[in-house]
Amino acid sequence: MGWFIVIVGVFLMVMGAALILIPHKVLHLSQKMLAIKNFKRLGWIPIIVGFLLCISANFSYLAVTIFLIGLLLIAKGAYIFVTPLDKLKKLKIFSLSDKMCRIIGIVILIVGMVLINAAM
């Protein structure tokens, strides 16, 4: 299951790089994803990924960190299920400045690198 940690780490690195380079397009894409008919289905993605991260945490030397990231993803999926659409669209992340988006992108990029390093 170490390969799953690497895949999640690579995805986080790509997402962090995209937030650094093109923050407006990433935020616009995430707003478009909320415009689909059954947006609550999007909550299953972080729940499944978080559950798999919790399972694969034992295959890493940073087991507690990876387990906590998995729990955070499960909580994110539950938040998507519980929160109404109009409240999701008004989240502060959609109105952040470019500098703040880039800082968040740097943090996400570092977390992706740590995950890849932990899986090796």
**pTM of the predicted protein model:** 0.82
Tens-level pLDDT at each residue, the chain (120 residues)? 778 888 888 999 999 999 899 888 888 887 788 777 777 788 888 999 999 988 888 888 888 888 998 899 999 899 888 888 778 777 777 777 878 888 989 999 998 998 888 877
Residue 13's alpha-carbon distances to 16, 70, 71, 82, 107, in angstroms, are: 5, 17, 20, 28, 10
Range of the domain at 49: 2-119
Domain count, the chain: 1
Q: What is the pLDDT of residue 96?
A: 77
Q: What is the pLDDT of residue 116?
A: 87
